[in-house]
Structure 1
């Protein structure tokens, strides 16, 4: 990786970062699903906002190893998983083959999908929006590939917002001299923080800011759903105590928006 190359953009850096994490991505709680309780929570959320798939076409953006793609497939959608990382797509294809899931995977940029206009009934993504360099353009793109009346379901969170648990963790580290345990190596964490400092939502990402951009892009009937306790509780039970506690108090949300008919 040649960071001195002026043609190496922030988008390339994001792609390469996640490619390097692909092999171990599914080992982390909050990425793959590790309990039936969490699986039921996700299926509940999808059905609540998107309904049963019934063969309708869905585009799972930045699908990674296809966790959400499989959930959408389970609900009955005809799923296309799109990701810019070939390493992630390799993991996704292997998982789908093992599970016998009929999911189409394509390489592409979530901000410029190159998918046909008005071809999808639903778009999903999880923890994608914070990585977007140009969310307004991305949301216009998503609107264009949705059919009239189609919906986008965004699952993300205001991760830059300091929680009392995070403050407690920092205080504990200062008092004991012990570093906070991270699921990433220090070098990867530094790269993660560097990327975060240069994307559109470099600091906080309140749901209201996403709602405003979705509305500007042309979406309507926008709903913010913070009732994700079943998902977060199932995840927290698989985490070390303080990390699990932080998961429960973070400002995480789902946002569903509709393309006008």
Structure 2
């Protein structure tokens, strides 16, 4: 019968048991729970929370009243009817929606905390569930699974065949998982700083229950993500003044050189990586190339690019947020991948070139334009300051021999790699004609 059947059985079971389940929360010490949650979640109440398997809203209403934007999700509508009523009575602004812990209606990297209480033991396909939670949690965000456990043991089976359905009950893979197994589940899903912490005093005196524990893990912030945020912030702040110091002189000459590199065929798809304020992308659009897409990590730079495209009525030019190292496109999408003054800023040049090759069609062309010291290579005088500003560990092409760039293109699989000069091309505030293009082709 499959997963749909299992999910229906679980939802129906908790619908029928909603009143009984809601009553069980009378055993909990609300003040102790609020104190524990405040400590675990921290003082920043701008952080968002999704409470999975929210049930009658015990956690969701509490975190919402503490000030955190909270959404509760559950399979059982009857359970959540209690959650909505409780929220109205206690002044909780929590929102509730029907859904499965296996398939969340959120964008990747969009939620700060995923929390749940007494959910993890009843998970079906737990590896799939944790992979989905990891997807939607922001880097630096956390998962927190609250459950009663036997100390030094882990989850214990309190009732065999709870759902009275063989397929469903056999799907509860971690119903009696030990503490080490639970830790490994989070670690193997990519979480770091994984721990199980005992939370004493959450149950009111007089109730002989197993103690509460929380299983926690953090989605790590990668080096690449830190550097992307640094770059986006730097160029956003630089956007308003960028064109004053980087405007292109003699655009007809620039167009002529670009046309020589890109080719005469106009019905092609061009990607301009790190497009900035769209100087090159809009120029290519004005030259009549059918589809030009500029991507950048700086939204403020692209806002300027969009305004220029609108002013010039360039319907063949579009812009999209994307990191040059992780392009959101299928393999073999573009006929030409082009960049201008990007090489020196790359934190991972090898990864970048591989990514550009991936999105190029067979027979496509890579064009990387940069200022060079003739016969030498790229020489950036303030590379250390920029590196510090964007929090980058390294900028390998900030000062690099041109032969090293050529060699990288060859090693990555580009053929007929060459360096072409761009006579007549210079900036408006400079007469230095030190612009060159590294060009490589992919074989058919």
TM-score category, normalised to shorter length: 0.7 to 0.9
State whether structure 2 residue 172 is matched by structure 1 residue 199. Answer: yes
Tell me which of 9, 12, 35 is aligned to 1:44: 35
Corresponding residue for 2:218?
A: 258
Q: How many residues align?
A: 214
Superposition deviation, residue 33 in structure 1? 4.0
TM-score normalised over the length of structure 1: 0.74
Partners of 1:221 and 1:143 lie apart in 2 by 14
Corresponding residue for 2:201?
A: 230
CA RMSD between the two structures? 2.4
TM-score normalised over the length of structure 2: 0.45
| CA offsets 1:163-202 (integer angstroms, 9 cap, x no match) | xxxxxxxxxxxxxxxxxxxxxxxxx986446554541124
Task: Identify which of structures 1 and 2 has the higher relative contact order when contacts are C-alpha pairs closer than 8 Å and 6+ apart.
Answer: 1
State whether structure 2 residue 70 is matched by structure 1 residue 98. Answer: no
Larger Rg: 2
| CA offsets 1:58-116 (integer angstroms, 9 cap, x no match) | 00001001000122123221000011111112121121122221111111001211222
Superposition deviation, residue 24 in structure 1? 2.8
Tell me which of 38, 43, 57 is aligned to 2:48: 57
Corresponding residue for 1:177?
A: none
Query: Which consecutive residues of structure 1, in runs of 5 or more, have no partner in the other structure?
Result: 163-187
| CA offsets 1:185-241 (integer angstroms, 9 cap, x no match) | xxx986446554541124x22222111011111110112102x22113x2x51x3xx
Corresponding residue for 2:7?
A: 11
Partners of 1:95 and 1:123 lie apart in 2 by 21
Partners of 2:180 and 2:107 lie apart in 1 by 29
Partners of 1:127 and 1:15 lie apart in 2 by 15
State whether structure 2 residue 100 is matched by structure 1 residue 109. Answer: yes
106-115 or 39-48, which moves further after superposition?
39-48
More strand by share: 2
Contact 1:154 1:255 in 2 (8 A): yes
State whether structure 2 residue 178 is matched by structure 1 residue 218. Answer: no
Corresponding residue for 2:59?
A: 68
State whether structure 2 residue 169 is matched by structure 1 residue 209. Answer: no
CA 1:71–1:53 in structure 2 vs 1: closer, same or farther (change >3 Å)?
farther
CA 1:58–1:94 in structure 2 vs 1: closer, same or farther (change >3 Å)?
same
Partners of 1:121 and 1:109 lie apart in 2 by 19
The 3-state SS of whatever aligns with 1:209 is helix
CA 1:6–1:47 in structure 2 vs 1: closer, same or farther (change >3 Å)?
closer
